[in-house]
Amino acid sequence: MSEFRMPSLGADMEAGTLVEWLIKPGVPVKRGDIIAVVETQKGAIEIEVFEDGVFERPLVEVGAKVPVGMPLALIGTAGEAPAAAVPPPAAVPKPAPQAPAATARPEAAAPAAAPPVEAGARQKVSPAARQLAQEAGLDLSGIQGTGPSGEIVLADVAAHAGKALPPEGAMTGMRAAIAAAMARSKREIPHFYLAHTVDLTAAEAFVAKYNEGREPADRLLLGALFVKAVAGAAKKYPEFNGHFEDGVFKPSTAVHAGVAINIRGTGLVAPAIHDSDQLQLDALMVAMRDLVIRVRAGRFRASELADPTITVSSLGERGVEALYGIIYPPQVAIVGFGTPVLHAWAADGMVGPRRVVSVTVAGDHRVSDGHRGALFLSAVEDLLLKPEAL
Amino acid sequence: MNIQEAEAALREELHRIAPDIDPGDIDREGDLREEFDIDSMDFLNLVTALNKRFGIPIPEPDYPRFASFSGAVAYVAEKVT
């Protein structure tokens, strides 16, 4: 018998609100199974169990705000008889009303007596929509979703609330989470920055050739090559891949590249693509598409948020030349790709127009320095110049 | 497919991707990606959706036809028979 505790989903997280259990008492679970949904400042996160066993019983009620590290449920060993005397559910404070929302009705946001919800019949809700519903004291079950797969999006809740979207500039939950993490980063991490410009001729030709004759669903984006190149370089230069915790740098043998994904009108998150260095380009592209769809629908997994060992942030096709990132603690590096642009470029003794991209790295001076950073960025360049080897 | 049908289909698919943008408010001749604030992944998802819905291949060399909303409408109307 062991306790399943509220995981930490980022340096800035202190507590999460239990939204629902996706499993019933007595059901066997395997390591990695998603068993609960927790609402955090980053939105609704699916929580995985970390061991094999049997879901004995929940220890907290739906709607409870639970501090990180506090037991959520009991997990029994498979085959073990259920514990005779199970401690009563821990006393947990009801969710506190959001401070800035004068209209919040916490009793409406805490469906403590709600019946268990069948897994699979869940209504998907975007993080921003959930936030607004909570602030307005609205019951989400009465709202029809109009998102891509029927999920409730911000506009649905706003229409239902009969009120305008939050005013421009209001710090929503996700913005507050970003602010906390970035402020901590700027306080604690001595950043150094390096920039380089990389010729994209080979990479773009590779993508165009790959996509020729392929259905749109199977096509590659240049962004997948960027992630793969960074993952390859991170594998080679481990001082840019891992976590700095309690004064010690712990390099990671696996490369879980966090990919910064913009969420319309809400902010951004950078969940991990697990083992990005091991994935072939097509599999990496599938993983990125899947991640973007789930993030925008408001659903991603706890391990995806907690696991990134390095972050990649890419401005995409519409933007400006360069992006200088801020490291997401406890990581030690972030790589920024600007918008690819046409430059007059000297190559093979000639000057001509070439599409190039600015690549930057922010590194943690407690772990590495500019010399190693330059080698790391050069490795990213080498990989992008030989895309067929990616 | 006539222009009205193509426009209705495009509005529907764009609404899935950019539910916060009202096609009635956009500049139909303006840059499609800017008007709807969509990135390359969103655009690929739009192309994928149109491909699945109508069975039109939409090869990459045709992407420039999607430069504006009205251009995209004309393209879909022309390709879907």
Interface test with B, best of A125, A209, A221 (most B CBs within 10 A): A221
List the alpha helices (DSSP H) in chain B: 3-17, 32-35, 40-54, 69-79
Encode pLDDT of A30-46 as tens digits.
888 888 888 877 777 88
Top-confidence residue, A138 or B18: B18
Percent of chain A whose predicted confidence (pLDDT) is above 90: 46
Pair of tokens at residue A185: 């980063």
CB nearest to A289's CB, from B33, B41, B60 = B41
The pLDDT confidence band at residue A275, using thresholds 50, 70 and 90, is very high
Number of H helices and E strands in chain A, helices first, is 9, 20
* Dihedral pair phi/psi, residue A24, rounded to 5°: -105, 155
Give yes or no for residue A165 having a pLDDT over 60: no
The pLDDT confidence band at residue A148, using thresholds 50, 70 and 90, is low
The pLDDT confidence band at residue A80, using thresholds 50, 70 and 90, is low
Q: Specify the pLDDT at position A214.
A: 95
Give yes or no for residue A330 having a pLDDT over 90: yes
Q: Are B40 and A147 a contacting pair at CB < 8 A? A: no
Residues of B within 8 A of A357 (CB-CB) are: none
Q: Is the ipTM of this complex over 0.90?
A: yes
Q: Specify the pLDDT at position A337.
A: 98
The pLDDT confidence band at residue A14, using thresholds 50, 70 and 90, is confident
The pLDDT confidence band at residue A142, using thresholds 50, 70 and 90, is confident
Q: Are A147 and B16 a contacting pair at CB < 8 A? A: yes
- The kind and range of the H/E element at A268 are strand A267-269
Q: Specify the pLDDT at position A171.
A: 59
* Closest B-chain CA to A262: B39
What one-letter code names the amino acid at A101? Answer: A
Encode pLDDT of B4-21 as tens digits.
999 999 999 999 888 888
CA distance A176 to A259: 20
Residues of B within 8 A of A211 (CB-CB) are: 60
Interface test with A, best of B31, B60, B63 (most A CBs within 10 A): B60
Q: How many CB pairs under 8 A join A and B?
A: 56
CA distance B37 to B25: 13
The pLDDT confidence band at residue A101, using thresholds 50, 70 and 90, is very low
Task: Report which of A170, B33, A317 is spatially closest to residue A154, judged by C-alpha positions.
Answer: A170
Give yes or no for residue A162 having a pLDDT over 70: no
Q: Specify the pLDDT at position A21.
A: 86
Top-confidence residue, A106 or A189: A189
CB nearest to A217's CB, from B20, B48, B60 = B48
Give yes or no for residue A125 having a pLDDT over 90: no
Q: Which pairing describes strands A15-21 and A261-263: parallel, antiparallel, or unpaired?
A: unpaired
The pLDDT confidence band at residue A263, using thresholds 50, 70 and 90, is confident
Q: Specify the pLDDT at position A85.
A: 43
The pLDDT confidence band at residue A113, using thresholds 50, 70 and 90, is very low
Q: Specify the pLDDT at position A369.
A: 97
Question: Which segment of A86-100, A171-185, A209-223 scores lowest on mean pLDDT?
Answer: A86-100
Q: Specify the pLDDT at position A228.
A: 98
Residues of chain B with pLDDT under 70: none
Q: Specify the pLDDT at position A299.
A: 76
Q: Specify the pLDDT at position A38.
A: 85
**Taking the model in full, what pTM does it have?**
0.72
Residues of B within 8 A of A154 (CB-CB) are: 20
Average pLDDT of chain A to the nearest whole number: 83
CB nearest to A223's CB, from B40, B51, B52 = B40
Encode pLDDT of A287-317 as tens digits.
999 998 888 777 778 888 888 999 999 999 8
CA distance A262 to A315: 10
C-alpha Rg value of chain B to the nearest Å: 11
Q: Are B34 and A318 a contacting pair at CB < 8 A? A: yes
Q: Looking at domain B3-22+32-79, does it have CATH number 1.10.10?
A: no
* Closest B-chain CA to A214: B59
Q: Specify the pLDDT at position A86.
A: 43
Average pLDDT, integer, range A123-129? 72
CA distance A99 to A106: 11
Q: Which residues of B lie closer than 8 Å to A, measured between beta carbons? A: 15-20, 33-34, 37, 39-41, 44-45, 47-48, 51-52, 57-60
Q: Which residues contact A120 (CB under 8 A, 6 or more apart)?
A: none
